[in-house]
A and B are shown apart, each in its own frame.
Chain A
Amino acid sequence: MKTIFPYLKKNLKLELIKKKRSGIFTLSIILGAIIPLVFFIVRLFVYSKGIQKGGGIPVNYYFETLNNEALVGFSYFLFPILIIISASKITQIDHKNKGWNLMETQPTTKASIYFSKYLVLLASNLIAIVSLLFSVVVFAFLLSVFFELPSYKIVSIPFEDFFKVGARLFIVSLGVTAFQYSISVLISSFIWPLLVGFLAMSASTLMRKSNLIMNWYPFQQLGDVSVYPRGSDLGTNWFTFSELLSILYSVLFLFIGYSWYYHKIFIRAFFKSKKRSLSVVGVVTILGLLIYSVVIPKQQERSNKTVVKGTVSGNVPLKTFYVFGVLAQDTLAKIPIIDGEFRGELTGDLKFDTYFIEFEKYYGQQLFFGKNDSLQIDFKIYGRQNKIEITGTRLAENMKIKSSRRYSTVKYYLDRNINLDKDEFFVKEILREWELNLGEIHNKRTVDNFIPSDDYLARQTKIVSLRSLNNWDSYKEKVKKIFPNKIIKDADKLEDLENSVYLNDADLLSVEEYYTFVLKKLIQKDERIEVSDSQKHFEAIDKLEPSLFKDRLLFKHLKNSITNAVEIKTRDSLMNRYLSSIKKESYQKLLVKELYNQNRLTKGNVAPDFVASDTNGKTFELKDFNGKYLLIDIWGNWCKPCLQIAPKFKKKALQYKNKNIVFAKMNFGDSKAIWKVSSKKKDTLLFDLKPINEKLFIKNYNIKKYPTFILIDPEGKLISSDFSRPDYPLFDEILNKYLVE
């Protein structure tokens, strides 16, 4: 084979002569710099009005600027536009002036003519990327000179991160550029390649609204660089499957494009002789298979141990990391955090389920995993700002669904009694929502093209079905009440759904939807009117054969019942009657403890004593407030909902100023310094307290969430250890009922 390089060099030189006045590289520079420039101007205006100070999670200032401001618009919009326009421009030079013939009748090869232009396009891409990164740095630097930035922003150029983003953008652009270039060479008209390009580009945006998975789509992959600026979350390298795919795409497109260009005519290029057809089919098949093998989503391998490990950083001293079971809220693991690191192995037969992880009281969330999973949890906490990153063997499962549709139209109609007379309409809507929700689970793709494992999919599918079934049941109940004579046809599809869910799935009981569903089904045939539903539930559960399922169901039901019961008498009788039906001892113990706490904190019992100090160091005890009602707000500076509700609490304090009630804020979890700074403003309306022994207070009052409100009567007796929130519409009504008494 004759070496192509001397020719390629000549042709590159030629292209540089020809592109004079075409503005190809200039356009790259402009499109790269335009977004950073616009944001720079906007920031100038915004910052000149003052910069918000305050703490936050340390972030690299430049990387944040690139990420939040420039990257999305560039990768989704300007970069593909640049590729489309430049490909058109560079080919139009020769289409318009019949330059192809001129070049082909010179001592150079067609390959070098073809690929030199592609190389110029790659250079144009590279210039745009460099222009983007460079202008981000320059403009951000100027801002940092003009204005004083918040201290949590780290002002140092992250060369490595910028290089990675740039390299990924460049590699992912190979495929798109090859595609766009190939059609621009083949179609000599000026407008068609542009149209095709813009259409192809917008297709990815249009398709995103449907349930189609587009992570294989070259234009979508460009945009994905901005969605995952940090690249792969496997930790081994930062390349993702997008880059590999882009390289394969570019080989495919260039192969087809070049063969077509070489022979000028499609048929001649690919089907003139048997030999050529075979080699074309061969190459396309091999590339097709390679692409397919990359595009096809993978499932992650499990490890051979169940490990939960991670790092903690920030300015809050955390000592322990917890893992709880969702159903019983029992502690499965309590892992000490030493020097910002923790690692724990979980033993035993851990079912695939959602578990609750917690960094003390500061952060908690549900997490899906099971036996032989290895999870890496990196947690950052700076004051009330926190950020968690979870990697490991359950990437897809624990990935947040981006366009999460919390909103259910069926629920909306049900709540407002709309269209209740149209059962066919409801069936249709329920099934539509079922499909959408199912799609969301099955469409989960991580940046590395992982999909959730089968166990997860099976479980979530059941949950989605249950949601639909529960809606259907609610509908039927409503209709029964409002139109007693209406006959509702049961839909076949919904019956199929119902048959797909078993009524003895112990693992699924941690899911609220399943619990609701099972309870409903258990008493479905019980026609007695004189017996309450709760009673019916207990009787039905009690009749079940002893099993883990029964244990868990009864545990959950009993726990809910004693929590909701107002009187000690009710609780005790329920416990006496049903506790022994639970075989699992740990459940029994948990229930006994719960009963003790609930009873202890029942209305009318003497409230546990406490000692707390105000910001001046003056101490108070519970008995100091005797003679007045006392409403305590349990809060902390690290807790966002607490801060949101604080103004409401204060407003109520003002409103009840002349009543026989004291409002007190009780701080938890903050250092004294932070607490004092936060309550600088002297407030005569409120007591601003902090318990001397926070742990004891939490234990005594069984505090499980922040904020919590506690109401104590003038004799020091509890009214409620979990009183209504001040933003609750009936707050005044409930409170006044006690104050008047």
Chain B
Amino acid sequence: MKEFAIQTEDLSFSYSKKHKILNKVNINVPKGSIYGFLGPNGAGKSTTMQLLTGVLVSEKDDISIFGKEIKSQMPEMFHKMGALVESPSLYMHLSAIDNLRCVTTLKSIDESKIYEVLELVGLLENGNQKVKKFSLGMKQRLAIAMTLLGDPELLLLDEPVNGLDPTGMTEVRELLVNLNKEKGITIFISSHLLDEIQKMCTYIGIIHKGEIQFEGTMEELASRNTDCTVLLEIGESEKHASILEEAYEVLRQESENQFKISLSSKEDIPEVTKFLIQNNIPVYQLRIEEGLENWFLTLTK
């Protein structure tokens, strides 16, 4: 049987009686996975994060971490778990080392570990610098470093790449994937960017308006979307548009020369090229539009 790092059972939460923030949310995060918790802003991601970490207290015993109910393990479970609930939670007036020292104090860890994690996130040289002077990427890395103190088995990260530039995103992503691979750390990431999740997660849970819309592996998600949308850029579109429309189902004309057409599967693409050549239609671009993205967009519209 699969072991789960996090499980919730019909987790519900509301600030007032009328407005439910979470409604019967079931999350199952397998051990050793990178779990992407996806949803648009306001879907209930942060509230879920706060509940999973006990920052908000759930009334019922509906959350278990490491297979045990959360309340019974508070606050000791944080020895095995690193969390970044609102990013970044850093003391701007302190140096990076002092920030890490805050965590080592609470976790009762030797201070030498501070340099290990600083090296891991590539901030060893900036240790004595005030965090105020850090770039956003550095702050984010430091925040992750703080969660890594004490060799956690589980990381909970709320939007860890939010606001980073592409290089920063890649850096963080690589760091997390490495941690997962090398140390076997289970990572739970929340994000509103599908692209980001797709790039590193093995499992995914999608939440919208406080309810789980999908949960499963990336493959399961992909197989749900067998439809294939192709973006086509052609020349002399006035002349050829009607021919194209007759042969294929045009979803949308994106611009003067760009069309989106729907195919039943990827395998149909060579057929399309053939058709275009045969009809003497000049092709400038032919690209597969992400099917998942569309699905996600429709879901959250």
Q: Quick check: is B283 within 8 A (CB to CB) of the other chain?
A: no
Q: Give the residues in chain B near A98, CB-CB below 8 Å.
A: 86, 88-90
Whether B106 contacts A18 by the Cβ 8 Å rule is no
Is B146 in the interface zone, CB < 8 Å from A? yes
- Whether B222 sits at the interface, judged by CB under 8 Å, is no
With A14-B106, A20-B94, A272-B59 in contact, do A106 and B78 touch (Cβ < 8 Å)?
Answer: yes
Expressed in whole angstroms, the Cα–Cα distance for A100 and B101 within the complex equals: 16
Residues of A within 8 A of B74 (CB): 109
**Which A residues from 1 to 45 make CB contacts under 8 A with B?**
7, 10-11, 13-14, 17-18, 20-22
Give the distance to chain A from B145, nearest Cβ to Cβ, in Å: 13
Q: For chain B, residues 74 to 114, give those with C-beta under 8 angstroms from any C-beta of chain A.
A: 74-79, 81-86, 88-94, 98, 101-103, 105-108
Give the number of residues in A that approach B within 8 Å (Cβ atoms): 33
Query: Given A10-B105, A18-B102, A107-B78, do A264 and B56 touch, yes or no (CB 8 Å)?
Result: yes
B284 lies within 8 A of chain A by Cβ: no
**Known pairs A17-B101, A18-B102; A105 contacts B55 (CB<8 A):** yes
A93:B89 contact, CB within 8 angstroms: no
Inside 8 A of A108's CB, which chain B residues have their CB?
Answer: 75, 78, 106
Complex: A10 Cα to B82 Cα, angstroms:
18
Which of chain A's residues have a CB closer than 8 A to the CB of B86? 98, 101
- Separation of A699 and B56 alpha carbons in the complex (Å): 88
A101-B85, A101-B86 known; A106-B75 Cβ under 8 A: yes
Chain A 76-100 near chain B by CB (<8 Å), digits 1 or 0: 0000000000000000010011111
**Nearest CB of chain B from residue A422's CB, rounded to whole Å:** 60
Contact A263 B53 (CB under 8 A): no
Q: Which of A11, A17, A93, A101 contacts B55 (CB 8 A)?
A: A101
Known: A10-B108, A97-B91, A109-B75. A102 touches B102 (CB 8 A): yes
**Residue on A with the closest CB to B93?**
A21
Using known A-B contacts A14-B102, A101-B86, A105-B55, determine if residue A265 contacts B15 with beta carbons closer than 8 Å: yes
Docked CA distance A265–B90 (Å): 24
Q: Answer whether residue A104 sits at the interface, using C-beta atoms and an 8 A cutoff.
A: yes
B79 touches A17 (CB 8 A): no
How many Å lie between the Cα of A206 and that of B184 in the bound state? 65
**With known contacts A18-B102, A97-B91, A263–B55 Cβ distance under 8 A:** no
Task: Judge whether B89 and A97 touch: CB under 8 Å.
Answer: yes
Flag whether B223 is at the interface (Cβ < 8 A): no
- A85 nearest CB across to chain B (Å): 17
Contacts of B81 in A (CB 8 A): 105
| CB atoms of B94 and A17 under 8 A apart | yes
Distance (whole angstroms) from the CB of A119 to the closest CB of chain B:
16
Cβ B75 vs Cβ A107 within 8 A: yes
Q: When the two chains form their complex, are residues A102 and B89 in contact, meaning their CB atoms are under 8 A apart?
A: yes
Quick check: is B54 within 8 A (CB to CB) of the other chain? yes
Q: How distant is the Cα of A415 from the Cα of B60 in the complex, in angstroms?
A: 79
Query: What residues on B are CB-neighbors of A106 within 8 Å?
Result: 75, 78, 103, 106-107
Within 8 A of A (CB), among B192-223: none
Give chain A residues whose Cβ lies under 8 Å from the Cβ of B107.
106-107
Q: Is A273 engaged at the interface, CB distance under 8 Å to the other chain?
A: yes
**In the complex the two chains form, is A93's CB within 8 Å of B105's CB?**
no
Which chain B residues border A109 with CB–CB below 8 Å? Answer: 74-75
Closest to B95 in A: A20
Are the C-beta atoms of B91 and A99 separated by less than 8 Å? Answer: yes
CA distance A11 to B103 in the complex (A): 10
B298 on the A face (CB < 8 A)? no
Most buried by B among A98, A105, A265, A267: A105
> What is the minimal beta-carbon distance from A737 to any residue of chain B, in angstroms?
87
> Smallest CB-CB separation from A14: which chain B residue?
B105
With CB as the reference atom, state the residue of chain B lying closest to A12.
B105
Residue contact A22 to B106, C-beta cutoff 8 Å: no
Q: Nearest CB to that of A273 among chain B residues?
A: B59
Query: How far is B106's CA from A103's CA once the two chains are assembled, in angstroms?
Result: 8
Cβ–Cβ contact B103 & A17, under 8 A: no
With A10-B106, A106-B106 already in contact, the answer to whether A20 and B93 are too (CB < 8 A) is: yes
- The answer to whether B79 and A107 touch across the interface, beta carbons within 8 angstroms, is yes
Residues in A with CB closer than 8 Å to B53 are 101, 104-105
Report if B255 contacts A (CB, 8 A): no
Q: Which residues of A contact B54 (CB under 8 A)?
A: 104-105
Cβ–Cβ < 8 Å partners of A96 in chain B:
92
Residue pair B106, A99 in contact (C-beta under 8 Å): no
Is B57 a contact of A13 with CB atoms below 8 Å?
A: no
Interface residues of B in 255-300 (CB under 8 A from A): none
A101 to B156, CA, bound (A): 12
Residues of B within 8 A of A17 (CB): 94, 98, 101-102, 105
Q: Mark B59-82, 1 if CB is under 8 A from A, else 0.
A: 100000000000000111111011
Q: How far is the CA of A48 from the CA of B214 in the complex (A)?
A: 86
| C-alpha spacing A99/B91, complex, angstroms | 7
15 pairs, CB–CB < 8 Å, chain A vs chain B: A7-B75, A13-B105, A17-B98, A17-B105, A20-B98, A97-B90, A99-B89, A101-B85, A102-B146, A104-B53, A105-B53, A105-B55, A105-B81, A107-B107, A264-B55
